Amino acid sequence: MANKNYDELAKQIVANVGGAENVISLVHCATRLRFRVADSSKVNKEKLKQTEHVITVVEAGGQIQVVIGNAVGDVYNTIIRVTNVKSGDEGGNDTEVKDKNLINLFMSTVSGIFAPTLGAMAGAGLLKGLLILCTTMGWLTKDMGTYRILFAAADGIFTFLPLFLAYTSAKKFNADLFVSVGIASALVYPNLTAAFSAKEALTFLGIPVVLVSYTSSVIPIILSVYVLSKLEKGLKKILPGVIKNIFTPLISLAVMVPATYLVIGPIADYAGKVLAGGYMTIVGVNPIIAGFVLGLIWPAAVMFGLHWGFVPIVINNITQYGRDTLFTITGPNNFAQAGATLGVFLKTKDKKVKDIAGPAAISAVLAGITEPAIYGITLKYKKPFFIGAFFSGIAGAITAAVGAGAPALLGTSLLTLTGYIGVGFTGFCVACAIAYIGSAICTYLFGFDDSMLLDDNKTTAAAVTEEVHDEFIKSPVGGSLIALSEVPDEVFASGTLGQGVAVIPDSGTIFAPCSGKVITAYPHAVGIRTNLGAEVFVHIGIDTVKLGGKYFELQVKDGDEVKDGDILIKADMESLKAEGYNVTTMVLVTNSRDYEEIVPSTSKQATAGDIVLNCISRK
């Protein structure tokens, strides 16, 4: 996603999820926008999937998940800036949504609380890994000031995690943000953490206090904020308006801090120990089988966006044992899917598939971001996905057998391997290598061939039109003709979006190059599906999406029937040029692979209505 201006993309996404009024809440994780909507029937999934820069759309865990990839943070921020969608859960209180599906309710709650913190925790985890490498290699020692300051940066987030979760939980449960953080601060207050370390006997109004270490804890503060949200709602109903703003926080703090220390905290701490102990027991009974099953099913969990639902278990494991093995066991899946995608990249001769597979494989192995690989390649062609899942299971079994783990929340990739230095590290590296190399080799040998592309194209074409036929496409504007390869934009020049031709226009009136139905209509670009099956896309200029419609007058809308020669767009070309924009206009056949050949005109000049493309169908 080379274009750093996502204004138009943000508006398209929000419009296709039913508009800002249909959005209850929006958060994002490492690669996905996670929408909680009021009415899922208003969501246009097919149009979302066809939107440029959207990898795919998944409905799971009670959410509409729009997979963007590495630029998800920028797209999220743009949505908040240019639309009426509110950040986090400010758009509404999910707890008030009458969702009877407990799994959906659990997933939306977990993602709402943890997703906003994942970037910071992942960065801190990676920094911990680098510090482990530095101390292992003897570059730093733990008593050095450099190490201590960097370790504070890496460990501070985890030590004071209750404060972060208090904030996100308050947004999720509609509780007072700063009272919630105040409760969390009381749980990690130095005087009381020291009392825990010294094993002091404390009482509150004569009631014995069971002291628990709340640093790095997860469950106690989440439950406390949930109870706080109910308490505040009750107080606001009974307190007079003149004292409500002062006495609600006063009573909330005076009640919730003791209640957490006396009741909520000890119960939640016990539940956390049971959860961690239960997980360790399951893995301990037969680590090889448990590891294989976890590794095998993990790609499916990633596919549906359910993997982040395990974050509370991971953090709880770190709190209880100082390390986690769950995300370590499932980590090699990133290498497995990367390897399967690499196998497709090496095997295919199709340039479009290579253009998708190459970056996706690199993203998965270097950054641990597997969604582009899964949705763009392995799941699309099925066999690579299952090969990757099998080797993920093999690697999971090895990882569980050697007992590898990590002291922080880490996404597994080449860049984060140092974070796993410790028990079982060598075995873990071997497992990742087997997952990567095994998936790549098996996919290359028998998991993929280009005949799958033909089957895929036929399936896609059948869903849209019965058959494509020979067809001529005309120039939408007069001007100089140049080959698509000469366009100064890599995406257009490479033919990734389809074969075609480009025109350096001599006027600003853009006509329909064919007859058919408008399937996409943007201020600067229009897509038309003809009655004979061609999908023709006219795009005015390079990076003109940044203008958000300025200097363009769109004359059609989605669903319109147009005839050859009808006006599509009126553009102020002189103003575009004055602002430094290249106005070269592309005419593409986006379903080029459905044709035997797309033959561009050899002329150097064209007038509007001249034939510039000959689409030759397979006989």
The CA angle 398-403-409, to the nearest 5 degrees, is: 100
Report the distance separating Cα 112 and Cα 93, nearest Å. 11
b/e per residue, 441-467, with b = 16+ CB within 10 A?
Answer: bbbbeebbeeebbeeeeeeebeeebee
Report the distance separating Cα 35 and Cα 371, nearest Å. 17
Q: Note the residue count of the chain.
A: 619
Report the distance separating Cα 251 and Cα 182, nearest Å. 13
Report the distance separating Cα 532 and Cα 512, nearest Å. 15
Enter the DSSP assignment of 51.
Answer: S
Which residue among the candidates 28, 307, 524, 539 is catalytic per the annotation? 539
Which residue among the candidates 29, 442, 514, 615 is catalytic per the annotation? 29
pLDDT at 102: 62
Report the distance separating Cα 428 and Cα 416, nearest Å. 12
For strands 479-483 and 567-571, give the pairing.
unpaired
* Contact predicate 112/89, CB 8 Å: yes
The CA angle 135-139-144, to the nearest 5 degrees, is: 75
Report the distance separating Cα 437 and Cα 432, nearest Å. 9
Element (H, E) at 148: helix 145-159
Long-range Cβ contacts of 198-202 (<8 Å, 24+ apart): none
Q: How does DSSP assign 225-291, residue by residue? A: HHHHHHHHHHHHHHS-HHHHHHHHHHHHHHHHHHHIIIIIHHHHHHHHHHHHHHHHHHHHH-HHHHH
Report the distance separating Cα 337 and Cα 378, nearest Å. 7
pTM recorded for the entire structure: 0.59
Instruction: List the one residue out of 73, 64, 71, 69 whose CA is nearest residue 43.
Output: 64
pLDDT at 466: 46
Dihedral sign for Cα 388, 389, 392, 397, please.
negative
Where are the strands (E) in 90-162, listed by range?
none
Question: 74: exposed, middle or buried (C-beta count within 10 Å: 0-12, 13-18, 19+)?
Answer: middle
Instruction: List the one residue out of 487, 491, 528 whose CA is nearest residue 511.
Output: 528
* Contact predicate 472/445, CB 8 Å: no
Cα 602 from chain centroid (whole Å): 43
Report the distance separating Cα 357 and Cα 164, nearest Å. 37
Rounded mean pLDDT for each run of 10 residues along the chain, 619 residues in total: 67 89 81 84 85 79 78 85 74 45 65 77 82 88 93 90 92 91 94 89 90 86 94 90 87 95 90 81 87 90 70 82 89 94 92 84 83 82 92 95 88 86 93 96 92 54 56 94 88 81 95 92 90 91 83 90 94 92 93 88 91 87
pLDDT at 26: 86
Dihedral sign for Cα 193, 195, 201, 203, please.
negative
For strands 567-571 and 207-209, give the pairing.
unpaired
Three-class secondary structure of residue 64 per DSSP: strand
The strand order across the sheet containing 552-554 reads: 509-511, 567-571, 552-554
Q: Which residues contact 597 (CB under 8 A, 6 or more apart)?
A: 616
* Contact predicate 151/144, CB 8 Å: no
Three-class secondary structure of residue 386 per DSSP: helix
* Contact predicate 326/314, CB 8 Å: yes
Name 588's bridge partners.
Answer: 500, 537
* Contact predicate 214/207, CB 8 Å: no
pLDDT at 482: 94
Report the distance separating Cα 52 and Cα 494, nearest Å. 16
Q: Which two tokens stand for residue 297?
A: 């099913």
pLDDT at 103: 59
Report the distance separating Cα 109 and Cα 58, nearest Å. 18
Is there a catalytic annotation at residue 429? no
Is there a catalytic annotation at residue 29? yes
Q: What is the 3-state secondary structure (H, E, C) of 492-544?
A: HHCCCCCEEEEEEECCCEEECCCCEEEEEEECCEEEEECCCCCEEEEEECCCH
The strand order across the sheet containing 585-589 reads: 561-562, 516-522, 525-529, 535-540, 585-589, 499-505, 479-483, 605-606
* Contact predicate 600/543, CB 8 Å: no
Report the distance separating Cα 560 and Cα 26, nearest Å. 32
